[in-house]
Structure 1
């Protein structure tokens, strides 16, 4: 009798477990696990359900206990008005979608969003990672007598620095580059191009090459060499000096010619008058 009762209990437990499992799986959900966006752009985190969506709760990625969105609490817009939720119809095999819109994405928006979905046939808890991609900026170049330095920072993906001269010749193999990942997760690239003795190149350009949203991006900055700048300055100073010296000399020569010819003209007139008197 006891064994029969045990068998009945086991069957009841299996039936209840199967029923709960079927209840939970009666609604199909789908949420993306990773979404990439460029800083400053807008993005949508969209989850789908095969039944009517009753409630959506989204938790702050920086503070997992704070709710950004909660339909039951009539909270469909974030405090800064940049994050909104929209429930709409979806294409088969799903019926409804819950779209989380984030406008003007900041670096601080990056992180893992916990999304709780409740529908007519069950519920789902998903994790969506939002990855904010940032381009490189603030390229700075300096130089001394033996090397040219290039530094770029801010990129979310490690990049490369290539070197070119004024004639578009590639000098990258002659340079050394160091890549450091900073505390905020961004990269800082530093490259040094050692100049050869008696280098006469007019300018050098460093080009930062990196990937952004699946595309290859480039940004460049150029600097003139010390020799070129100093040479131009010396020539200009020389031309100014020559001008200062030559102009007074020309004026003095003109004055001398005037003085020289003016007395001769006067003596010529006096001699001609005397000749007429004699005649």
Structure 2
């Protein structure tokens, strides 16, 4: 519908309004806030209420218009309905006796968010009401890449997580295999694309000595709800050489420590046996004997070693 047709239509509305001024028999009631999902159908709920004094009301004209746009989205006039592609009355069998004038958007896009006006003229009065549409979009499942591509654990690593197609702006968060978040080591950026949706990207920096075996990137919407996640598993060799190397050291310590204890016990036993043997040999070499000493006037105990070194 061109501008001339819209001008004639609203001139007709003004005439009708002048004829029915002062009558409060008609009211358009719209849901103040409507929420639509990107890529799906959205509906702006509006109904016409008529006072009890009015019998069998008839709608003469309806016009749906988005604020900021010169062209009407949907118009009913003189029994004919015209509109832009993707916009129609919510009830497919709508007619001039149907008081449900809700607008259906068949494929919701980001350009559809904003404020709308619904103008209704009947044979018993008219009314204009405003309503609004808020559009949300769910983020796609995130993806993870790494620099370098092959993680060996011998160098620092950067993990990159990306998710697109969401609105409003969400968040990407990193978690390790113990479900511990890594906010200090990550940095997120949000970019608004040409289709009005956000692209989120986050980089997680890892040092070669602090690499776990698994990292999970989770995308959350603006309300804090989880919308998707992806997990990257680090090869065992890389994890063992990185953070896993610490775990490897622990395993080595667990092996070495008992070995040291056992070795100490063995050395102690050998030393005890050696000392015992030396004491035994000395005891056998020295044999006590008793001899008479005339000068001292008694027996004197002396030690003589046998020639063969045995008792």
Q: Say if 2:62 and 2:76, in contact at 8 Å, map to a contact too.
A: yes
Q: For the residues of structure 2 that align with 1:184 and 1:42, how far apart are their CA atoms?
A: 17
After superposition, residues 1-279 of structure 1 pair within 5 angstroms as: 22-23=22-23, 25-51=24-50, 52-54=57-59, 55-59=61-65, 63-72=69-78, 74-75=80-81, 78=83, 80=85, 83-86=88-91, 87=94, 96-137=99-140, 139-144=142-147, 145-182=156-193, 184-211=195-222, 216-225=225-234, 228=237
Query: Which structure has the bigger radius of gyration?
Result: 2
Shift of 1:74: 1.0
RMSD: 3.6
Q: For the residues of structure 1 that align with 2:44 and 2:102, how far apart are their CA atoms?
A: 6
Shift of 1:208: 0.6
Q: Say if 1:59 and 1:114, in contact at 8 Å, map to a contact too.
A: yes
Q: Say if 1:27 and 1:120, in contact at 8 Å, map to a contact too.
A: no
Q: For the residues of structure 1 that align with 2:31 and 2:101, how far apart are their CA atoms?
A: 12
Q: Say if 2:110 and 2:197, in contact at 8 Å, map to a contact too.
A: no
Shift of 1:207: 0.3
Q: Say if 1:56 and 1:69, in contact at 8 Å, map to a contact too.
A: yes
Secondary structure of 2:74 counterpart: strand
Which of structure 1's runs of 4+ aligned residues deviate more than 4 A? 60-63, 78-82, 87-90, 226-231
Q: For the residues of structure 2 that align with 1:172 and 1:230, how far apart are their CA atoms?
A: 21
Q: Say if 2:20 and 2:124, in contact at 8 Å, map to a contact too.
A: no
Shift of 1:67: 4.4
Q: Which residue of 1 aligns with 2:262?
A: none
Shift of 1:164: 1.3
Give TM-score, length-normalised by structure 2: 0.54
Shift of 1:195: 0.6
> Over residues 130-154 of structure 1, what are the superposed CA-to-partner deviations in whole Å (9 max), with x where a residue is unaligned?
2221111262322223321212222
Residue correspondences, number: 206
Q: For the residues of structure 2 that align with 1:177 and 1:32, how far apart are their CA atoms?
A: 37
Shift of 1:219: 0.6
Shift of 1:98: 1.6
Secondary structure of 1:170 counterpart: coil
Shift of 1:36: 0.7
Q: Say if 1:61 and 1:110, in contact at 8 Å, map to a contact too.
A: no
> Over residues 71-101 of structure 1, what are the superposed CA-to-partner deviations in whole Å (9 max), with x where a residue is unaligned?
425116x5646633545899xxxx9332223
- Change in Cα spacing, 1:185 to 1:148, as seen in structure 2 (3 Å) is same
Give TM-score, length-normalised by structure 1: 0.59
Shift of 1:104: 4.1
